[in-house]
Structures are given as structure tokens and as C-alpha cells.
A and B are shown apart, each in its own frame.
Chain A
Amino acid sequence: MSQSPACPRIGVYVCHCGMNIAKQVAVEAVTEFAARLPGVAVARHYKFMCSDPGQELIQQDIKESGLERVVVASCSPLLHEATFRKACAAGGLNPFCFQMANIREQVAWVTADKGRATSKAKALIAAAVERVSRAQPLERKRLAVGDKVVIVGGGIAGIHAALTIADAGKKVYLVEREPTIGGHMAKFDKTFPTLDCAACILTPKMSSVKNHPNIELMSYSEVEKVEGFAGNFKITIQKKPRYVHEELCVGCGECVDACVFPKAKFPSEFDEGLALRKPVYMPFPQATPAVVVIDPNTCLQLTKGKCKQKCVEACQRGAIDLKQEPEQVEVEAAAVIVATGFKTFDPRGLPQYGYGRYGNVYTSLEVERMVNASGPTGGEVVLKDGAKPRSVAIIHCVGSRDKKTHPWCSRVCCMYSLKLAHLVKERSGADVFSFYIDMRTPGKGYEEFYDRLLEEGVHFIRGRVSHITDWAMTKAEEGKLVVSAEDSLIGVTRRIPVDMVILSVGLEPQPDAQEVRKKFNISCSQEGWFLERHPKLAPVATFTDGVWIAGACQGPKDIPDTVAQAGAAASEALALIDKGYVEIEPNTAEVDPEACSGCKTCLGMCPYHAIRRDEEKGVAVVNEALCKGCGTCVAACPSGAISQHMFTDDEIYQELEGILSYV
């Protein structure tokens, strides 16, 4: 092993990661190579460096061989940098005297040829060794954190997270953009697989939200701006005018009766357009808050400026205010949970299914309203003409598992289709034909629910529906909707005439997911679902500290999984608050006053206004608490007077030299 007096003593540890790395990279050869690099005092390879014995190896060598720098060649630093920094610290070494070489994600898993994988691993290790020789011991700064949480989206995810945090004694701002909380779940009559009544389990939670002393419910509101960082966010929320003073309204509905429109005339959003409402309305009887809202697009006073304003007269509490303006509120929060849910696929994108063309083709969400006892038909399943259907087809995977629409499986459609098959049969006695591709019922009690439906006499046909038409080819098809599909179990094409068709539409990201993502500085998957920090080990964290995600905004999921995520996000937010501080990565920038010419170039580079010019001394100064460590000012400084800790020019040039000098 080579030693040079100028170099610190370096330990190199090459991980096999079971066979993950060792299968592609000749770990022994790499270790021998590492042992001969300048400064390397110890080089070892081990099966699992992240395991306890692996970490102890490092600690022991630090103590016994007096290591001053450590390199671990294993997986991505995004996965285990923290682990090994801790191991270094436990061995008595400053955790920043450490460098990782990513030879799993960026070598073993992506390189077909073993010889070349080994060479690449050597180059990356040489780079890490060269770089770590220039690493400086650093200290993490601690900042105190607040104790409030902002939750965005008041579906079951947001509601559950809010109650969990509020019950723990912390203040929550729950921001919901619709006039009421409840999300999709509030629209359902029953939930699979237990068929328990959705309202019975949801409405008590909704009223707890309203009445909880620690929850401030901000309905009909949206987040405008997010500033700050984990523990100390400053969030601007815009309250849209509902033209009703929330604190005065008691939801009596006198104004709705008094409205100059004698009859409801406009499609109700909550009822998926199956019922009508007036310009002043309550979305549904259990709406929370139980406050009416006035729709600016249909109210005569608000659109034309001319109306007798009977609603204003009718309200004895003077709650209606047609001059209400949007209001901005600024709140402080330690953590944010984004729970903005999903939207359903619009089947107009698949014209062969005739949605919008044939009156009796419905989406599943419309039928959810129809089967709801407090819905537009009082729970009856009826055709457009009011008659009961005698036969109903349910078509799975509409807008799912199809390269032309969405490639993903929406996870809940098979189950909710089974639920709807049961409810339709129960309410109308109709014959139900269920067209599926694969029946996907993984989940506790789900397969049993499928078995139950098989026994209830639903006809299951395995095959994708090619089209739906009202063009009759036989007498029996006249006046019916004909569903045409290949029955792939018996290998024939079938035409099945029915009265009603239900399209089991898939789940897709909210249309404004991109804007929301940007506001909170989080990422989206290619499909537009919010991206978790790690698909297995950090399913509700994001790449932005202090921001968590929960529920269907992260990907299609059912209510049990949504609630589990909401609980997880809540407890992680609580853990941050409980800890009381955040540690800042010491990768901040620093100005060398001797070299700074005071040109102010850097001031314009910093998006956080972390740099100011000390007018007395005529030099730039970085405020460490505001600096987030991007390094943009460093690259811009014409005098080379700014350096970024952990990413100094010296370290990067050294890494570069290591990469290119050996292999």
C-alpha cells in the first residue's frame, strides 16, 4: 500500500452488494487497484458495506489505522450517503471527510460487459479517492423549526393526515380548492370490498375536521406561493370569493330558495352533471363547511350586474356579500403535505365507446352518484328516459393499460367495477355483463369479493371491447346498445345488446399537477404522478425536505392505501416538528474577501437573495442561513473569489483528474 506524506490516509471499501455489484464488477481486482492509489492506506471489499459489520469495518479502521478520509464504492449516494457518513462519525471521523463512488446504479446495473464495468468502477473509485483527499471537515448548522403544517387537498388523504396531526396537538391549515372537502370518496355510496357506506365513515371525519380546535379549514382556497425551506416555510394562500361570509352562514338554504331562478338550471359539479343546481347552492347536504357558495359564472348579478338579489334579502344573517374579493393569507409552516388526488379519464378520448353520443353510456363516477341514496336519482339505477335497465354492461380498463391512452393499470377499477356490478344488480335487478382484460383483485378481502360476485350471477367476459354501437344487426339488438368484444376465453367475437353501458374510467394525474409540482418544488414521474423520494423506502417523502405526498396524487390507489400513506406522511411531518430543528447541508457558498472585487455579479445569480454587498468593505457576503448550496454564484464569479463547501473547484478538478488519469 502506498503512502505519501502530503496525502491524508484514505480507506477504500468496495461493496459487493450481494451479487448486485459483484456479478458485473471484479471487486477483488478493483480493490487491488484501489490499494495502489495515492494516499490509500486500507482497501477492502465486503459483501454488504451498509450492514452493521460493514459499517463496523470502517469504524474499526478509522480507529486502528488512523484513517483520515473514507471512500465507499457501492450504491448511489442518494441512497446510502447518510448511512456511511454516520458510520464515519461513529468512528470519530468528520462525516464530510467521506466520498461515495456509485458503482451499482451507474456501473453494475447499466453495463453489459464485465471488463468494461470493472474499468468504469476503477475510474470512479480513483475519482473519489482523488476528490476525498481534498475534502475538508465541515459542521452542519442547525435551524429551529416551526410547529404548523399546511395540507393541500381535502380528500380522504388530506382529511386523515390533518386529523392525525391535529390530534397530536399541532396546528394544521387544510387547503381545499373546492367549496367542500371530501374529494372523490364523498361521492360514493358504498366502498369495496366491505360495501360499507362511504358517508357513514367519511362524514364523521369531515365534521371532526371542521370542529377540531387545531385545524383551520380553508376551503375554496389555493396555495399561491411557497417560500422558505423545511421547518420554515412561508406559504401564501388565496381564498377565492364564495360571495358568502363563511363565519355568518349557517347553511340554512333560505338564499337558495329565494334565488331569482325558480328552478335549478345548471349542471351540478358534485353530481357529475346528473342533477341541476342554482347559481347559489350547497354542493351536497353534508358539505363541509356547510356553507353555500355563489357561482360567479352563472349568478346574474355577478355576470350581468343586474339582479334583484333576492338571496341577499333572504339571508337574515347578512352573510351574502356579492362584492367579496379574493383574499390572500400568509401562513408559516414547518411541513407541507400535498394530497391533491386524481382525476378520472375523459372517455371522449375513445370515441368508439360512444360516450357523449349515446345517452345511456355513463362513466363509473356518474353511476357512483346514481347509486348513491342521496344522489340525483335517490339511489335508483335508471336510463335517460327514467326506465330501469334490464341489462347493463360494465367495461373495465377504459383509459388504462392501453398505449394509446395511459399505459398504467389504475388499480381500483376492477374492484370498483365489481362493486358497481353488485349495486346495479341490487338496485335494478338487471343482468350485468362485465368485460375485463385481467381481473386484478389483490388486496385484503378483494379476491373473496370477486368470488362473491361470481356467485351473484354477474356474467364475466374476458376481452377488450372494440366498440359500442346502436346499429342493430338482429331483431334482439334493436333499440339497444350493442357491445362488441372478443371473448378471449372461447375465442369468438361476441355482440351483446344492453340498455346501459358503464365505462370504468381510469385514474390520471390532476390537470394542474405540473403547476402544483413547481409550486412545491417536487418532481413528477413521466406520467405526471408526484414522485416519491424512493419507490420502496421513502414512498411519501419527496426530494424537497419538509414536503410530503399522500394518496392518489402519487399514483392510483384505493382508500386503504391512501389512508396508510396519509398516516405515514403525517407522522413524518410530526417527527420533523418533534425533533425541533433541521440540519442544513454544509454545502453553502463562501466569499473570500481578499479576492472579491465587489463587482456584484454574484448578487444577480442568487435566487434566494442570500448574497449582499458589504458597502463598507466593498465585498460580497453570503448569508449562510439563506444559501441553499446550488453553487451558481461560484461558477459566475469572475475573480474566482467564491467557493462552495463540499464542491470546491479544487475538489472537482481533483475528481476530474482521478477519472481520467488511471483508466
Chain B
Amino acid sequence: MSEQVPVGQPPDWEPRIVAFFCNWCTYTASDLAGVSRMTYAPNTRVIRVMCSGRIDPQFVLMALRQGADGVLIGGCHPGDCHYQEGNYKCLRRFAMLKHYLAAMGIDDPRVRLEWIAASEGDKVQRVTNDMVQRIKQLGPLKLEPVCQPGCRAMAGDQPSVGNRAVAADI
């Protein structure tokens, strides 16, 4: 893959990726990557949920709406879900979500589902690096996000609820 920066993209731009990881496999795997000191691109920020079955497609839409350039979902391998079949439910929703995203013109590599077992620290590293690289090629997601770095005044600000209403309309 070429390292060229696409036209019109600031050279130091770094994508921000929100990751939703299930507690039992993928979150544990990303801890393992840490314990094994596997360095990888720092563009992901992980939100821990108990099971990938908890991930509402709305979370993904909201993340993109709020300024994420990509969303990574991580769960246990099929058959390995700590709660038996939450990951199958997640998979079904993911398939549906992908249709929506395509309709909205959001490029395929931006939202990704990966099964990563507790022992697969190296897969966290590989998937993260690969995803960051692909999204770098695509450039920032232009959804006119409500939030951008530094958009919130630091002092005395109220947490805004307004954004949510916007995203819920998507």
C-alpha cells in the first residue's frame, strides 16, 4: 500500500477510531497486547462492553456522527462468546448496519467487525494497524461532525445532550 497522503488531506492528520470490545475476549486480548509490549498505532480508543451483543448499531452511528473516522467492533470468535451467542446477535446487527452505512456513503473499511480471542494480542495489533492504514488512505470522514478536537470549551461547560438528538435522526 502506498504511503502517499491523499489530496487535500493535512499531512499530520491522524484518524480517530472508536473501538467497542467485549470484556471477555477482545478487551482481554488488547490487555495481552499490552503485557506483551506489542506497539501499534495509537488511533483507537476502546470502550469496554460486557459482550459484543450489547453493541447497539446506534453506538456506531453516534461515534461516526461525533467525529470518529472509523469504528472497530471486537468480540469472541463464533462459538466462544462468554454468553453463548451474543456475538451471533452482534453479527446479525452488523450485517444490517453495513447496509445502512453503504446507503449513507460511508466507505466499507471504516466500520469493521473482528473476532479476536483472549489469546490473540497479536491480532489486536495487526487489525488496528491495518485499519488505521486503510482509513488514512480514505482521509477524514466528512459528516460535518458535531464534535471536533477542542470543540468543547474546557471550563464550566455542560455535557451536551444535543448531539445525541442529531445522531438519533440518522
Q: Which residues of A contact B (CB under 8 A)?
A: 2-4, 6-7, 36-38, 76-79, 102, 104-107, 109-113, 116-117, 119-120, 123-124, 127, 130, 133, 518, 521, 523-526, 531, 535, 543-544, 587, 605, 607-608, 628-632, 634-636, 644, 647, 649, 652-657, 659-663
Contacting residues, chain B, for A109 (C-beta < 8 A): 34-35, 37
Residues A635 and B62 in contact in the complex (CB < 8 Å), given A38-B156, A107-B42? no
Contacting residues, chain B, for A112 (C-beta < 8 A): 39
Q: Say yes or no: is B133 at the interface (Cβ < 8 Å to chain A).
A: no
Secondary structure of the B contact surface, majority rule: loop
Q: List 10 A-B contacts (CB under 8 A).
A: A38-B158, A76-B31, A110-B42, A630-B53, A630-B82, A631-B51, A635-B53, A644-B50, A654-B159, A660-B18
**Which residue on B lies nearest to A116, using beta carbons?**
B42
Residues A6 and B158 in contact in the complex (CB < 8 Å), given A111-B39, A117-B42, A652-B59? yes
> A637–B157 Cα gap in the complex (Å)?
33
Per-position contact with A for B41-74: 1 when CB-CB < 8 Å, else 0?
0100111111101111111001100111000000
Q: Which of B53, B86, B89, B159 contacts A38 (CB 8 A)?
A: B159
Least distance between B164 CB and chain A CB atoms (Å): 6
Contact A518 B18 (CB under 8 A): no
Contact B37 A630 (CB under 8 A): no
Contact B50 A635 (CB under 8 A): no
**Which residue on B lies nearest to A78, using beta carbons?**
B31
Contacting residues, chain A, for B85 (C-beta < 8 A): 607
Q: Which of A2, A78, A119, A628 contacts B28 (CB 8 A)?
A: A78
Given contacts A133-B159, A660-B66, 15 further A-B contacts (CB under 8 A): A7-B159, A110-B42, A127-B47, A130-B159, A526-B120, A543-B24, A607-B84, A630-B82, A630-B86, A631-B53, A632-B51, A652-B59, A654-B159, A660-B147, A661-B152
Residues A632 and B119 in contact in the complex (CB < 8 Å), given A110-B37, A661-B152? no
Residues A2 and B155 in contact in the complex (CB < 8 Å), given A76-B31, A105-B34, A105-B35? yes
Contacting residues, chain B, for A133 (C-beta < 8 A): 159
Q: Which of A77, A605, A607, A656 contacts B62 (CB 8 A)?
A: A656
Contact A635 B117 (CB under 8 A): no
Contact B154 A37 (CB under 8 A): yes
Most chain A CB neighbours (cut-off 10 Å) among B40, B53, B150, B163: B53
Residues A605 and B89 in contact in the complex (CB < 8 Å), given A110-B39, A124-B45? yes
> A104–B37 Cα gap in the complex (Å)?
10
Residues A587 and B50 in contact in the complex (CB < 8 Å), given A123-B45, A636-B89? yes
Contact B93 A635 (CB under 8 A): yes
Contact B56 A649 (CB under 8 A): yes
Q: Which of A113, A630, A652, A653 contacts B51 (CB 8 A)?
A: A630
Q: Say yes or no: is B16 at the interface (Cβ < 8 Å to chain A).
A: yes
> A193–B93 Cα gap in the complex (Å)?
58
Contact B79 A634 (CB under 8 A): no
Residues A523 and B42 in contact in the complex (CB < 8 Å), given A78-B27, A663-B149? no
Interface size on B, residues (CB 8 A): 66
Contact A127 B83 (CB under 8 A): no
Q: Which of A38, A79, A607 contacts B157 (CB 8 A)?
A: A38
Contact A102 B46 (CB under 8 A): yes
Q: Say yes or no: is B118 at the interface (Cβ < 8 Å to chain A).
A: yes
Contacting residues, chain A, for B35 (C-beta < 8 A): 105, 109, 535
Contact A4 B156 (CB under 8 A): yes
Contacting residues, chain B, for A531 (C-beta < 8 A): 118-119
Contact B40 A657 (CB under 8 A): no
Contact A647 B89 (CB under 8 A): no
Most chain A CB neighbours (cut-off 10 Å) among B51, B54, B63, B147: B54
Residues A635 and B118 in contact in the complex (CB < 8 Å), given A110-B38, A649-B56, A659-B45? no
> A109–B40 Cα gap in the complex (Å)?
10
Contacting residues, chain B, for A630 (C-beta < 8 A): 50-51, 53-54, 82-83, 86
Least distance between A281 CB and chain B CB atoms (Å): 38
Least distance between A144 CB and chain B CB atoms (Å): 23
Contacting residues, chain B, for A127 (C-beta < 8 A): 45, 47
> A634–B157 Cα gap in the complex (Å)?
30
Q: Which of B34, B66, B80 contacts A518 (CB 8 A)?
A: B80
Contacting residues, chain B, for A105 (C-beta < 8 A): 30-31, 33-35
Q: Say yes or no: is B1 at the interface (Cβ < 8 Å to chain A).
A: no
